[in-house]
Structure 1
């Protein structure tokens, strides 16, 4: 029996991003009931919400005896300071609390493989290690990262990739960046694309859709962005592009909906909305639950994602899977994943973003030729990226490390 340890901290504590990736991947791994493998999901301690505790308990009950949990006695910030900043070589096996009253006994035991899905690794004594790198935004677009976080990742990620037995990346674009910028050997890096959950699909229940519209306070017609409200998402230019749209025939009666939590340096985005007097033209929803996201995508006229840089781009893929036409930037991994299935724009030019939006809306209000083509190609493209394939490729990598 091969024992696989996976750092599950992000899955428990991060709603989006790496958290969603880790939840989707691990759940699919467990659903496939891999023969001859046992999974130990370890996570940083600290206070958990009732929802987080129930999530852990539900997985343990559903997938027993294939999975067990190991709760570390220290919080994630403390462990980051010890392992990454101070670089104290305290092995994971020594840190694990061997007996814990809640929620489960958490014996880590001897591991054959240790997988770290969130950029960095912890010291450990047993098992070959794998680290997943989702992007190099802290190097490629350093102006879009908090200085403290950027300095930390610039040191910790190269160190982890040098030490790891194998590296997983989520696109060929990131693999090239690791080879070119960090001088890593290509054969050490395996590309395993993200997937899209089957719950993201075209919905036909009008009543259920309208209930979500009412619940979220959505306008009758709108363009949609989903993601963290932060500089890397290029939302100031999107707001400026939308200003160019609202007085056109295509934009009349439509709003721009921004769905996502406020991130680092979110203030300039909301300040620009105020400066342009567009408070009535833009709706901010904050974070939208996974339960309501499929309906949100289905209700949108189009999905806009003019990001300055992405390692993959899960939200636009989810939109494609729902049959919603998509506009994305022609850069980074976005061009790799979406070219030919979405309208592309230059994210540095407001006019290019506005032109892409108008192109989609003109077809939507007119002959539908482009819209129909985008929907067909979008659904075909989304079908190529599944968590089942990601899990199968990950299992193959696990099995190859003897």
Structure 2
């Protein structure tokens, strides 16, 4: 088959755009360059520099640069909806994969489509998105789910949401867990971790959050739990809120100021790929109190390095945490405080996290993700004749 992949949201920028969905595309393309199967691929990316930084070359993969300004998403949407279909027709693409929620409305006749659904936060928690983001997803994501020949869901939780909230038949949805890059299994020595803490002024230890600063991540509740941990338990660890600014994040800074934590909460900003492993592994605890996640890859990444994790008991987060993460109700700051204290003091839990880290890597390997993704492409191609008759 000739498979097209719309990789326009692949980014190597030092900001929130180089987040979970961008890394999903990156890992997918790099592994396809190692195991493409019998198929040929045309990958549409945003700029020649992205191709150079990706380092995923193979004779069966062709890259096409379709540049648009990263700061102007309207240009990307216009290209995606009006230019991409012509590209698919001219290049005789058999299956189009859109790795982030949205397909072109008008696909060429005979071109099957696969869309990866990352979450349905815009239906579950519309208030945590800006008006423009809510409108975009209601217009484009819902239509794409109904239009797609096959859907890849990044978790069983998201698969269930697609069925219950968007009324998509379950047989159309394939669960393919997001993967963890193998580098997260590189265990750093105690000396390296201590040196990292020394370098960043974190010698008393730290509780780490790593992700975009935006409302769905529920960071104000983490700040309140951290305040209680210091006040009631006398803990001296710092709270590190690492990641790029997303949207509607003013409440985070306001809550820190209200609780007088300006000297105790650290904002290192966006963390590049090279530093992520040490940020995870040097942390005393990784905290991810999100209200809702399509998969929650940071939870799995932290566990893969042997770090205890406290997260929430909603959506896909218990899935990502396997049976290692401590899970609490997202709005219960007292339970979050208690779980953080347990993770900081329970030596048996800490040892178990270290010993079972390899199981996390095995469960969420890139090889497994790509094998299942190619299987979804092949099933979508088989569905084309039946789909045309039905329509």
Tell me the TM-score normalised to structure 1 length: 0.86
Aligned equivalent of 1:90? 82
SS at match of 1:135: coil
Aligned equivalent of 2:5? 6
Aligned equivalent of 1:25? 28
1:167 maps to 2:151: yes
The alpha-carbon deviation at position 291 of structure 1 amounts to: 0.5
The alpha-carbon deviation at position 374 of structure 1 amounts to: 3.5
Decide which moves more: 352-361 or 107-116: 107-116
Query: Which has the higher relative contact order, 1 or 2, with Cα contacts under 8 A spaced 6 or more apart?
Result: 2
Within the candidate set 171, 178, 186, 1:194 is matched to 178
Decide which moves more: 158-167 or 194-203: 194-203
1:124 maps to 2:107: yes
Within the candidate set 307, 319, 322, 1:336 is matched to 319
Give the 5 Å matches for 1:41-190. 41-44=43-46, 53-57=48-52, 59=54, 63-72=57-66, 74-75=68-69, 77-80=73-76, 82=78, 90=82, 92-94=84-86, 109-122=91-104, 123-125=106-108, 127-190=111-174
Distance 1:192 1:273, change over 3 A: same
The question of whether the paired residues in 2 share the 8 Å contact of 1:225 and 1:305 is answered with yes
Give the 5 Å matches for 1:373-392. 373-392=352-371
The alpha-carbon deviation at position 378 of structure 1 amounts to: 4.6
The alpha-carbon deviation at position 211 of structure 1 amounts to: 5.2
The question of whether the paired residues in 2 share the 8 Å contact of 1:4 and 1:114 is answered with yes
Tell me the TM-score normalised to structure 2 length: 0.88
The question of whether the paired residues in 2 share the 8 Å contact of 1:115 and 1:129 is answered with yes
Aligned equivalent of 1:370? 349
- Cα distance in 2 for residues equivalent to 1:196 and 1:282: 28
User: What do you get for the CA RMSD once the two structures are aligned?
Assistant: 2.3
1:317 maps to 2:300: yes
The question of whether the paired residues in 2 share the 8 Å contact of 1:216 and 1:285 is answered with no
1:296 maps to 2:299: no
- Cα distance in 2 for residues equivalent to 1:117 and 1:209: 35
SS at match of 2:183: coil
1:270 maps to 2:272: no
- Cα distance in 2 for residues equivalent to 1:389 and 1:66: 20
- Cα distance in 1 for residues equivalent to 2:309 and 2:90: 44
The alpha-carbon deviation at position 335 of structure 1 amounts to: 2.1
The question of whether the paired residues in 1 share the 8 Å contact of 2:242 and 2:271 is answered with yes
The question of whether the paired residues in 2 share the 8 Å contact of 1:224 and 1:258 is answered with yes
Q: Deviations over 1:199-256 (max 9, x none)?
A: 002523455445544555544411111001111111101001000111345x533111
Q: Deviations over 1:120-167 (max 9, x none)?
A: 112332621101110000100111111111121012111001111001
The alpha-carbon deviation at position 349 of structure 1 amounts to: 1.0
Give the 5 Å matches for 1:232-311. 232-249=216-233, 251-311=234-294
SS at match of 1:278: coil
- Cα distance in 2 for residues equivalent to 1:373 and 1:178: 34
- Cα distance in 2 for residues equivalent to 1:170 and 1:152: 20
The gaps in structure 1 that reach 5 residues or longer are 97-106
